[in-house]
Amino acid sequence: MVTAKTRFWILIALVTISGFSQGMLLPLLGIILEQNGVSSSINGLHATGLYIGILISSPFMEKPLQKIGFKPMIMIGGALVFISLALFPFWQALWFWFILRVMVGIGDQILHFGTQTWITATAASKSRGKSIAYYGLFFSLGFTLGPLMTTLLEFGLYVPFLISSLLSMMVWLLMIRVRNEMPEKDHATAYGTSSLRRFLKAIRIGWVAFLPPLTYGFLEATLHGIFPVYGLRLGHDVNMLSIIIPSFAAASMLSQIPLGALSDRVGRKIVIVTVLVGGILAFILAGLFEDSVTWLFITFAFAGLCVGSLFSMGISYMTDLLPRELLPAGNILCGMSFSIGSILGPFLSGAMLDIAPNISFFYVIVALLVIVLISTASVKSPAQKQAANI
């Protein structure tokens, strides 16, 4: 059996390959469906399958984990992912691919819930933050590398799917030598214990903190699922798109830790408002210079530096706003907000490409960022509320 340190890096490897498969699937299927003549709105609706799988499985994670333990949970999730990926090339039907997307989403959610809970449950309190930082960093790394698989389409439809499935299975096999552990009762989540009243109270108090995760989900799914379609219509080469798309996630890895540290010093709200302004500027420039591959790469990277950390910033902001007893419910709501944004993004963006093809795709993103900016700026921060009560 492996040591605790080796187990940690196996879990990180699983997270990396999960990010890789998600980062590959969105642009790859978007490009294939566009080349097959599928409309943008249907393409966008189809892309929501992954996040529908994540959303519908979220409330049912805790009880199986308590019953069977970490290792079986993770292995079930990992198996669902690599088996689903391997099945894509065998039957090119929209409904079949949608079911497979949902299955990948369910598998990824099971895998992430198991790995994240195991890491947080076993990490020492003094290094827990650092452990989670590695978790987020390596998922982003996998998500950044995933779109590069679209370049393998020239060798055959089955090639990127089977390579991704094989890589996932190889990492999954490393779990065989890991000893199973059962979660302690004090690590139970809010899934089975929080009433509807507590969720509603968390929304009433911390609703503004759920907007950044929703926005990040919208951005991630839209840029990976619909932008490849839009880029092809602009006349950009598939290989160029596979380089432009990862620049957003790659840049976000550079700014994630510095922005988090800055928000500890100057306040979460100030940093969130600032990065939203930067994101608005980035996507306005992307819309103005969308015919230039160079400008798209620059604007995507700048957008990643600014708004690529919105999910983690939203979780931190939620922690600032909610009392301790509502934090489990708040964590679930952050994840659900991300999934809702991920479902809305491809659908609304794809519909706009069909309804208003002459308007830049990027202005949908700008409109969302402006709404979130106004909402965030209008809410008093915890420090401001304390000052008002003095």
- Looking at residue 217, which CATH number applies to its domain? 1.20.1250.20
Neighbour-count burial for 17-36, b at 16+ CB within 10 Å, e otherwise? bbbbbbbbbbbbbbbbbbee
Instruction: For residues 183 and 198, state if they share a domain.
Output: no
Question: What's the pLDDT score for residue 388?
Answer: 44
- Boundary of a domain, candidates 173, 189, 205: 189
Q: Are residues 281 and 140 in the same domain?
A: no
Q: Contact, 217 vs 338, CB < 8 A?
A: yes
Give exposure, 336-360, as e/b (b: 16+ Cβ within 10 Å): bbbbbbbbbbbbbbbbbbeeeeeeb
Look at residues 152, 169, 189 and tell me which one is the last residue of a structural domain: 189
Same domain for 219 and 152, yes or no, is no
Residues of the chain with pLDDT under 70: 62, 120-121, 123-133, 184-195, 328, 381-390
Q: Which amino acid is at 66?
A: Q
| Residue 94: predicted pLDDT | 87
Q: What are phi and psi of 39, to 5 degrees?
A: -65, 155
Does the pTM surpass 0.85? The reply is no
* Domain co-membership, 23 together with 146: yes
Q: Say yes or no: 286 and 170 in one domain.
A: no
The answer on 168 and 69 residing in a single domain is yes
Residue 126 belongs to domain spanning = 1-189
- 166 and 227 together in one domain: no
Question: What total of structural domains would you count in the chain?
Answer: 2
Residues 167 and 222 placed together within one structural domain of the fold: no
Q: Do 238 and 175 belong to one domain?
A: no
* Domain boundary pick from 164, 189, 214: 189
Answer whether 121's CB lies under 8 Å from 187's CB.
yes
Q: Would you state the pLDDT for residue 189?
A: 46
Q: Do 165 and 252 lie in a common domain? A: no
Q: DSSP labels for 241-269?
A: HHHHHHHHHHHHHHHHHHHHHHHHHH-HH
Q: Does residue 136 share a domain with residue 19?
A: yes
Cα gap 100→81, rounded to integer Å: 9
DSSP state of 359: S
Per-residue pLDDT at 81:
94
Alpha carbons 257 and 259: distance in angstroms, whole number: 6
The answer to whether residues 199 and 325 belong to one domain is yes
